[in-house]
Structure 1
């Protein structure tokens, strides 16, 4: 191994260690901290109060929800903010409608004509979760930030505290505030906080459009920034949403979230005991800094046009430039590298393709390792109890594939030739990224510029310096990539290793065969150990719900380990056996949002089906018009309307509240249904009757049924399996042709 290669690998190790330290949340400040500072220990008391005993959910309509709402009103009242509870019925964009109770307060600014800054978080939780982190951490961060602001002189712009309800039901609270609350018209900036896990740093992962000025504020005011345009580019292409999705339609702002600790997400494990207080500290510092910056900003009311490309450097500072400069910078890097290669007379066929071959070899080997672990069942679910060996296998495979190819392709190539091939490839990747996703291009453009600008130095030095710059940008991505997507696409987990290897061919000439052969042995051993390890543990339990559904013609018990398109593995065998003989089980989808899951037909019990009263049914101008009243006879507060063939009527109006419902997915969820029910008007294309299945949903399953036995079987697993999302539920259905 050359000295230069050894120095680069040592630098990589230092960067990785620095990233591990810098991207860990900061230490919490004590309750004795100065009053104008954010203190996680002060905020923790409120987080603990709204999370309760760690068992009770804060889902809409539950006692935990009512108790938490009271805690928030009391906390804001103690700050002298005169909070109000916004009671509203609203329909959202995700096929849901419901009653919500937002908690809203306002602190006046010094300029009576200035628009407001909203600090937002949601206080409801998923039905199966106490929500200490999702989003108890956000609520506590917002209120403690508001307390710290109260010790400042009034800012120029007023601050509106918006603690939303019904986020887990489809962003309903944010919709209610945006559509119906009088203060919403004054809000032009938003700082939102959410959580997808129980620990990890606070990531500024999303902004509104025309974000260059916002990124500038973040760069000047965040002491420990964790942010990049890479996060922004990836997230805006994903189907995920937060309350910020609603607000950014009319306001500018930033969105913070932590990603680590998905083991606890939307399960009973999302408790105070598992919520990292350092994460609370980091969220609070970020919220407070941006609230102060936006509160005095004059750009917020009339934001200048233009987006930014940006990234933090080891959470020390943010580097940024106008997004419009990204493609010119990429082209400049390409021109500079090509010009240097011409100057050095560095062109040679063997050297030019060494980096590309190294990149391809690492990628193919990682794909093979991922497929092998998928086939063996080691990666049967996205996140597993013991990820260390699968991670080692994937990164080891990248090293084996990349180094073995590099050893072959650099053997007869000159260092100058491999330098030219390496950085021309990186420059071309930067140009391509600048065209397709400008926010990601910095990952290639900055190292390529470093290579071109230092090319007058000896080849080993310029190659090493550029590789270290690449390492500073790529190595910090290792942890958040796993937190974000798990093993859904295994090769992506090792992308930093794959890409960084392609920066090293100029330093790999003469690499001993024992190095890459050793990496192959390590990879095979890691795959073997990964295959033998259990997928689940009490720290990382399997998600498994039990459902009892009774239709008009049959009753079924289900064990469900999927939600939407995300699967959590085959259900525990003991839970399936509790339903009856395994050969009697058949796959069925109990809900429109579910994938098929094991079910067994069981004895019918006394469960009142939901009531559906037809108040009007007629054909006018060739279209079917129907008015119905829906209610539950067993006290269910959630109703689900499923339309025949997955095709909803073109117009669905909750006429008792004047809200137009979005039912484009072929179903509609109604939350918080009162005892008198709801009146619904529907208009269908054409005169044919409307086929409808009405479901009412209650928590828990009936006693003395196979579903209850499955719950007992899960309990016997002693925490290796837990409910998630909606939790265990009973569904009663009624079919109608209207």
Structure 2
């Protein structure tokens, strides 16, 4: 946001829409937040007119990217999807409703462009909205979020026959994750709609490897199928009425087919599953297939086996992740990733942990089957399903189906099995029947594990493999047949597969251009002192950063960087740097007038170096009564007063202040730029290294490849003239 590259992308979008014959306008927004931060963003709005518009159908994607990578997936994929949809719609028959294409700016800075659109009168014209995102570079595009009262939306999503990958469980999980997208602003505005994203290969997300070459064309095609298909479907439906209907439970069944039913049905379905389980237990006790003690033993067996599987996975995770890194992450903040080394193999490791769990689980149950009857082990395991169903119904009602239907079918299978006489030998047909009735659980849980693995990733693997434990618990009656004639071939084979997969991952964790080593190097220049410095938040220096922070082989030193980042008192790796030819912040006095209420000073602020962000701080013993910028009144304050510009205009801006006339006025202007300066003798970053993205180690006050320029201006009170830099 605010960069020259951002302006180029915006111009390209405008040109393409005009080429397609789409009406285009640019929406410039300058919004003041409560913390005296002003965001400036310019979004692009396109519109095609309908034949008998009710309300518009809108598609949204953001064209800004993070400064750590090109943003081909996030969110170039969404931009391309909207552009190609616009082209296809203009080439086809006209739709009933208007179609609005919203290309937002500043999503990465906090949904700036989306919030501006939602504050405008244009949002009143929208009946339904789609948002397209990416949190990776591959994988199926998932409809992972919708709005409240979604009954009508989900029904029409199914009728549109775009075969969307969707689950109310995914929506329930996402609601509890502290992240947002432009769709968050749409929901806050009260709009109905859907949010789509593909999320696999997270390790390239927000990095320099988020390039067109790494973007999955299949994922892009998924986006396009949804966008065009849903535009044609909803573009011909009346959208001007009340679209709110009671929420529904929804999920994919065989393949992409979407099943949905009212959320109010989930309770009766859960009670039915629990009743079938209870009937199974009563029948099993009555016909002496199970005993009370054995049933409790079966429950205890699954609980202990699950713990062993989780602990085994924890040990394996520590092996591939690094014990110290894992411990620090678990004991501080699990969302603060230390690096991305293991995440390059997230899918490989995730399924290795699944194979490990399979081997441990079946091995444990082979031993248990010699002491407890298989029927008791299976029935005791299903008791845990009842507990999980109750918990999900209470806390994740949209995901209760994931426990209800497997429990219902598995309990029904054991009930039928208990109709045979006690002591009768198991027959292949009986085992086959139980296998078929366990199939719904496998069809639900295996895809759920894959999606959850991509969502919460391997750092949650010790908990995530409990999904595999539950899936295997449905197959306990099949274990004697599956493992004959040798009871240990299956667990041994599963463990061997797990070890091979783990070994493949660990052996390929070396640093390459595809899996770069991440490091941090920033530059600061203080125009007041004439000094410059390199600094880094890395724990250890590598062979590249040491060239800057250990010049001429000197000993690396740590020091504070408050001279370049005001108020930052922690110590980092730091070394003197050459002074780069930046022009730095500039302030020209426009007017200086003394009034009865105080001194009114107007200055022209400019930073020719095209910063991403500019902050102006009051540093003298004075008071700002109020400030004005972009014709907006900004609250004042004492010596801690400041104003922050995100998306600072290239031409600069005027800032007017009312301050005390009897006190000196000094302002410190801080600018944050992207891109390190180059100097003779200092090498560029090697191909096997990359600047750390914002997906790791979030608490630091600066990021790699950022430049911080700082200059103080004194305004002694002359009626005219230039700034007075120190």
Per the normalisation by structure 1, the TM-score is 0.77
- 1:601 equivalent in alignment to 2:575: yes
Instruction: Give deviations 1:369-402, integer Å, cap 9, x for gaps.
Output: 2234333579763454455764455234323432
Shift of 1:204: 0.8
Residues 439 and 170 (structure 1), Cα distance of their counterparts in 2 relative to 1, 3 Å cut: same
- 1:313 equivalent in alignment to 2:214: no
Shift of 1:206: 0.9
Shift of 1:470: 1.6
Shift of 1:658: 2.2
Secondary structure at the counterpart of residue 139 of structure 2: coil
Q: Is the 8 A contact 2:611 2:674 kept in 1?
A: no
Report the equivalent of 2:122: 183
Q: Is the 8 A contact 1:402 1:498 kept in 2?
A: yes
Match for residue 48 of structure 2 among 107, 116, 135 = 107
- 1:575 equivalent in alignment to 2:550: no
Q: How does 1:380-391 map to 2 (within 5 A)?
A: 381-382=339-340, 383-386=342-345, 390-391=349-350
Shift of 1:368: 2.6
Q: How does 1:551-630 map to 2 (within 5 A)?
A: 551=526, 555-559=532-536, 572-580=542-550, 583-586=555-558, 598-603=572-577, 605=579, 610=585
**Distance in 2 separating the partners of 1:540 and 1:652:** 50
Report the equivalent of 2:374: 415
Secondary structure at the counterpart of residue 549 of structure 1: strand
Secondary structure at the counterpart of residue 600 of structure 1: strand
Secondary structure at the counterpart of residue 673 of structure 1: coil
Q: Is the 8 A contact 1:385 1:536 kept in 2?
A: no
Residues 617 and 576 (structure 1), Cα distance of their counterparts in 2 relative to 1, 3 Å cut: farther
Instruction: Give deviations 1:170-199, integer Å, cap 9, x for gaps.
Output: 21111222223x422211311111222222
Report the equivalent of 1:679: 655
Shift of 1:448: 0.7
**Distance in 1 separating the partners of 2:442 and 2:706:** 49
Instruction: Give deviations 1:589-621, integer Å, cap 9, x for gaps.
Output: 887999989521314636566357999999x99
Shift of 1:432: 0.6
Shift of 1:255: 0.9
- 1:165 equivalent in alignment to 2:105: yes
**Distance in 1 separating the partners of 2:231 and 2:171:** 20
Contiguous gaps of at least 5 residues in structure 1: 1-58, 562-568
Report the equivalent of 2:722: none
Q: Is the 8 A contact 2:23 2:48 kept in 1?
A: no
Report the equivalent of 1:150: 90
**Distance in 1 separating the partners of 2:708 and 2:491:** 57
Report the equivalent of 1:89: 30
**Distance in 2 separating the partners of 1:704 and 1:234:** 48
Report the equivalent of 2:173: 234
Secondary structure at the counterpart of residue 304 of structure 1: coil
Match for residue 728 of structure 1 among 701, 705, 714 = 705
Match for residue 209 of structure 1 among 124, 148, 165 = 148
Deviates more, 1:207-216 or 1:529-538: 529-538
Larger radius of gyration: 2
**Distance in 1 separating the partners of 2:35 and 2:512:** 34
**Number of equivalences:** 654
Instruction: Give deviations 1:621-680, integer Å, cap 9, x for gaps.
Output: 9xx999986834443333344989xxxx9999764342779x9xx995521334443537
Report the equivalent of 2:521: 546
- 1:248 equivalent in alignment to 2:220: no
- 1:195 equivalent in alignment to 2:134: yes
Instruction: Give deviations 1:683-729, integer Å, cap 9, x for gaps.
Output: 9xxxx999997520223223339xx83xx252xx3244356567622
Shift of 1:535: 4.6
Report the equivalent of 2:699: none
Secondary structure at the counterpart of residue 239 of structure 1: coil
Match for residue 3 of structure 2 among 53, 58, 61 = 61
Question: CA-atom RMSD, angstroms?
Answer: 4.3
Q: Is the 8 A contact 2:350 2:458 kept in 1?
A: no
Shift of 1:332: 2.2
Q: How does 1:709-724 map to 2 (within 5 A)?
A: 709=682, 712=683, 714=685, 717-722=686-691, 724=693
Q: Is the 8 A contact 2:558 2:574 kept in 1?
A: yes
- 1:704 equivalent in alignment to 2:646: no
Deviates more, 1:583-592 or 1:717-726: 583-592
Contiguous gaps of at least 5 residues in structure 2: 327-337, 418-429, 695-702, 716-726
Residues 387 and 259 (structure 1), Cα distance of their counterparts in 2 relative to 1, 3 Å cut: closer
Secondary structure at the counterpart of residue 278 of structure 1: helix
Q: Is the 8 A contact 2:691 2:705 kept in 1?
A: no
